[in-house]
A and B are shown apart, each in its own frame.
Chain A
Amino acid sequence: MTKEYKTISQISGPLIFVEKTEPVGYNELVNINLPDGTTKRGQVLDTSDDIVVVQVFEGTGGLNRDCGVRFTGETIKLPVSKDLLGRILSGAGEPLDGGPRIVPEDRLEITGAAINPYARLPPKDFIQTGISTIDGMNTLVRGQKLPIFSGSGLPHNEIALQIARQARVRGSNEPFAVVFAAMGITNEEAQYFMADFERTGALERAVVFLNLADDPAVERLITPRLALTAAEYLAYEHDMHVLVILTDITNYCEALRQMGAAREEVPGRRGYPGYMYTDLASLYERAGVVKGRKGSVTQFSILSMPGDDITHPIPDLSGYITEGQIVISRELHRKGIYPPVNVLPSLSRLMNSGIGATRTREDHKAVSDQCYAAYAEGKDLRGLVAIVGKDALSDRDKKFLEFADMFEDRFVRQGVDENRDIETTLSIGWELLAELPEAQLTRIDNKYIQKYHPAHKAKEKEGK
């Protein structure tokens, strides 16, 4: 039995300071026994011969200097087993669904270890999400981390759910699972996710971790790590392809800032701690494919940009770690377009390795580049039209202006349950591009124009 210390010298925010202990390990798990018989858990943040700093996950409410502190001698671990599938757990990993405790096959450290870059396999399996703006323009591949940059009041949850429902690697029937971690979202939002999981039967293949808005903020710091540990276990031990949805990263970062402030650290930009990049990387980088193992971890996190500001430290640092981002646009949402994905600032860095002749179709990159360029030009012209009026535009410019409108209306817009395969997406792209003069299609190789351009296709048919 480990010793119980009654030497708390100070309680400050989520931190307690314990004096005169025997040597305590860094990051060690701590149990705190309250006078009323309940127990709280914490983790060692700073340890020395004189004083040990502990962050308390369930908050320090009700603690006083009479509490007993036990150091467990081990770091935080998650009991894992295949039975995790179908379970709903709290943000600290305790069952919430009234089910039994997990009988562990193994107990894994939740901090996880970095994958040796030499052991990684470059991700390249195309995941078809059925959403044109993602499949066609910002292709997701297995093992990628691609967050949704959204804002308050935008339909990011619908999009995330649509992806969770529709995402498939074509022509494969490999086992897959969804790990869903809620960090500080409201009960209502959580209900919405749960209802959809139940409706579609996805819950059997899902592990859910819920840290809701009224749960302690500090707990949010471990919730995503529990989720990723579960995901890695299912992927690397049970050969599953795991899609991890973390929502909302912004709440996680707020919790990080809160902890930093409580520890009286030197703050970085906008008060967020200087190590936020490293901390976020320790979450995001836990996606990937490992050589010689069948499973994979793909991350699709949701991040709401405070004030829709993409230069805010949270989206900014995330963008530097993740392999691209899907940006949700308030402007498109106001126009009534779903999914309101603004393709221009969106990006998938791994797109090029996931598309092409053997993976999607040979003309994919050309079509996507051309749509990007034409849409960007059309959008610029909107600004000009606002000043000089449409009549001042040349005929060429008018075509591009129309292209931008059609692109939003036909390519971007689709139904919540509409699952477009990649061929459909590309042919919509071609139909729109066909409205532009052919000489303007400078990004498309002539041989693809001959093969896929609707005008040539029609001619070919006539010829036959």
Chain B
Amino acid sequence: MKNKGEIYRISGPVVIITGLNTKMYDVVKVGNEGLMGEVIGIEGDKSTVQVYEETSGVRPGEPVENTGMSLSVELGPGLLESIYDGIQRPLPVLKEKMGDFIKRGVSANGLSREKEWDFVPTVKKGDKINGGDIIGTVRETLNIEHRILVPPTISGTISEIKKGKFKVDQVICTLEDGKELTMMQKWPVRKPRPVSKKMTPGTPLITGQRILDGLFPVAKGGTAAIPGPFGSGKTVTQQQLAKWSDTEIVVYIGCGERGNEMADVLYEFPEIKDPKTGRPLMERTVLIANTSNMPVAAREASVYTGITIAEYYRDMGYDVSLMADSTSRWAEAMREISSRLEEMPGEEGYPAYLAARLSEFYERAGKVKALSGKEGSITVIGAVSPPGGDFSEPITQNTLRIVKVFWALDAKLAQRRHFPSINWLNSYSLYTKALGPWYDEHVSPDWVKLRNDAMELLQKESELQEIVQLVGSDALPEDQQLTLEVARMIREYFLQQNAYHEVDTFCPMDKQFKLLKSIMSWGDKAHNALDGGAPIEDIMKLKSKDDLAKVKYEKEFDKALGVILKTMEDEFAKLRGK
């Protein structure tokens, strides 16, 4: 059959074409304007296509052309610092080509064909190379070395390798069988890139957020979900993670989210400095922005585009974190397309393959040994926006079956401006055990116990609160009143963190440990003092308690904490003296 057909029917983003020989997931150019679409169903000589652009005014009978390729992304130097739409078209290029508003029928390369990169080979003539091997490097941004990989499907012996400045589509390496390699390769987004081995994660992702690192850590190569109703701080948490996570590469997917928020990210990221390198965060970031009013099919693709880019950097041996905000919008895009296809719906109108798609996506996370032999990881953190904040809905439930860490956002906490509004009783992390040895070595052997004690105290607080709700706090015995007070200190002094405060926005592990330890030891001392007969009113009035509240904002934390610990010693000594 031929590779030119015509449109038979149009209903929104779903177009049915006829007379064209297609394979599933082939990319086709639809209509006179050549709108980009993807084959998602075949029946007889008709194929169903989801179109990534607006279809107003397109008519039956217009021509359709098959590119014969699956939806792919371009991988190579130049990905970092880029900002793409859901199908890897750079937004700045789109703006140049079509102005401030997204029109249609414009194609744009994911990687610039103009820019030259300084290629330094690491292999030589006569070397045997296999798929995934590193053949050279390019300094992509000041701190990131881009390792040029052999496409996974290619192997052979090098007959020629070049050195010097090249554009991404120029040949840098020729194999004996005549195959030519460039710095750029294409990879179909719906297919995971191959690895040599999957490994078990054992290092925590340090995010600088106390409740995450301290109580519910995620491992590098792990998966986490942040579900929460609107206004509970999903986006702020995701952005904090993108800003402060200690991975080398960050891929941030704004999937069906707000335009103004994406604009904010676009403005802010080039301004913020990476705490480790002092360079702008943007230099290690790839942004994918497909706002809620951009075409729905491209929204469906954006998540795959993002994870494929993440896999590419993982294969170079980097730790990558990927934030998807929000996976619910992605699932809704699936639902919308599914309903236009008149498929039999599953739960709440979502397609029956929802769970399979979600788990396929999260399974692309992980710590791996890449084909090149280097170790890399992808940590996936997916925001979920459950309708009405109801966690029993299908996306949250299907996600929770897969991910290992659950950060439950709570609208009640957000309303009283407890940020990050992650509920410490409902959240969990299944990595705490696996990460234990790391904490012993890198933070303190006391850390795990300290964390467990704090959690226990918070649990106890919630039990006591139930009693307080019935009888009032004055009716409790004094030692329980004190327990409530220490729990409150943990909540307000430790768990609350101000993302907009210059110092408090990022809290290193060491500071977290010292802060929590100081609060807990204040609690121990207070209980001792109470047992020793000191009146509870006096204990509650201690200056050191109020001082602990604000120490997290201090620029010179260690010094300030030292002073407070001294005050604390003195005050409790005095109480004992009485």
Q: Which of A74, A266, A291, A323 contacts B100 (CB 8 A)?
A: A291
Are B471 and A392 neighbours in the complex by a CB distance under 8 Å? yes
Q: Which of B61, B94, B474 contacts A49 (CB 8 A)?
A: B61
User: Distance (Å) between the CB of A326 and the closest chain B CB?
Assistant: 12
Are A45 and B11 neighbours in the complex by a CB distance under 8 Å? yes
Q: Is B349 an interface residue (CB 8 A)?
A: yes
CB-CB under 8 A from B470, the residues of chain A are 387-388
Are A117 and B266 neighbours in the complex by a CB distance under 8 Å? yes
Q: Which of the candidate stretches B37-45, B253-261, B566-574 sits at the interface with the other chain? A: B253-261
User: Distance (Å) between the CB of B352 and the closest chain A CB?
Assistant: 12
CB-CB under 8 A from B16, the residues of chain A are 48
Given contacts A120-B260, A282-B293, A384-B472, contact A24 B11 (CB under 8 A): no
Are A116 and B292 neighbours in the complex by a CB distance under 8 Å? no
- Which of A114, A288, A377, A439 has the most chain B CB atoms closer than 10 A to its own CB? A114
User: Distance (Å) between the CB of A434 and the closest chain B CB?
Assistant: 18
Q: Is B473 an interface residue (CB 8 A)?
A: yes
Q: Is A75 an interface residue (CB 8 A)?
A: yes
Query: Chain B, interface size: which category?
Result: 35 or more
Q: Is A376 an interface residue (CB 8 A)?
A: yes
Are A114 and B335 neighbours in the complex by a CB distance under 8 Å? no
Interface of chain A, helix or strand or loop or mixed? mixed
Q: How far is it, in angstroms, between the C-alpha of A118 and the C-alpha of B229 when the chains are bound?
A: 27
Chain A contributes a number of interface residues (CB within 8 A of B) equal to: 89
Number of contacts between A and B (CB, 8 Å)?
229
Q: Which of A116, A349, A353 contacts B95 (CB 8 A)?
A: A116
Q: How far is it, in angstroms, between the C-alpha of A319 and the C-alpha of B228 when the chains are bound?
A: 12
Are A393 and B472 neighbours in the complex by a CB distance under 8 Å? yes
Per-residue CB contact flags for chain B residues 64-99 toward chain A (1 = under 8 Å, else 0) read 000000000000000000010000000110110001
Given contacts A119-B95, A277-B292, A387-B470, contact A268 B335 (CB under 8 A): yes
Q: How far is it, in angstroms, between the C-alpha of A324 and the C-alpha of B235 when the chains are bound?
A: 13
Are B339 and A266 neighbours in the complex by a CB distance under 8 Å? yes
Q: How far is it, in angstroms, between the C-alpha of A349 and the C-alpha of B258 when the chains are bound?
A: 11
Q: Which of A25, A116, A121, A442 contacts B56 (CB 8 A)?
A: A25
Q: Which of A118, A291, A319, A344 contacts B230 (CB 8 A)?
A: A319
Are B59 and A121 neighbours in the complex by a CB distance under 8 Å? no
Q: Is A220 an interface residue (CB 8 A)?
A: no
Are A47 and B390 neighbours in the complex by a CB distance under 8 Å? no
Q: How far is it, in angstroms, between the C-alpha of A293 and the C-alpha of B101 when the chains are bound?
A: 13
Are A281 and B292 neighbours in the complex by a CB distance under 8 Å? yes
Q: Is B348 an interface residue (CB 8 A)?
A: yes
Given contacts A278-B296, A319-B230, A392-B475, contact A49 B387 (CB under 8 A): no
Q: Which of B60, B264, B417 contacts A372 (CB 8 A)?
A: B417
CB-CB under 8 A from B333, the residues of chain A are 278
Are A268 and B348 neighbours in the complex by a CB distance under 8 Å? yes
Q: Is B518 an interface residue (CB 8 A)?
A: no
Q: Is A113 an interface residue (CB 8 A)?
A: yes
Given contacts A48-B8, A48-B9, A321-B258, contact A122 B292 (CB under 8 A): no
Are B345 and A266 neighbours in the complex by a CB distance under 8 Å? yes
Closest to B91 in A: A118
CB-CB under 8 A from A320, the residues of chain B are 230, 385
**Top 7 A-B residue pairs of the complex, sorted by shortest distance between their CB atoms:** A311-B388, A48-B9, A281-B292, A392-B472, A376-B416, A120-B263, A113-B101
Q: A: which residues have CB within 8 A of B?
A: 23-28, 45-49, 74-75, 109, 111-123, 143-144, 236, 265-269, 273-275, 277-278, 281-282, 284-288, 290-293, 310-313, 316-317, 319-321, 323-325, 344-345, 347, 349-350, 352-353, 365, 369, 372-373, 376-377, 383-384, 387-388, 392-394, 397, 439, 442-443, 445-446
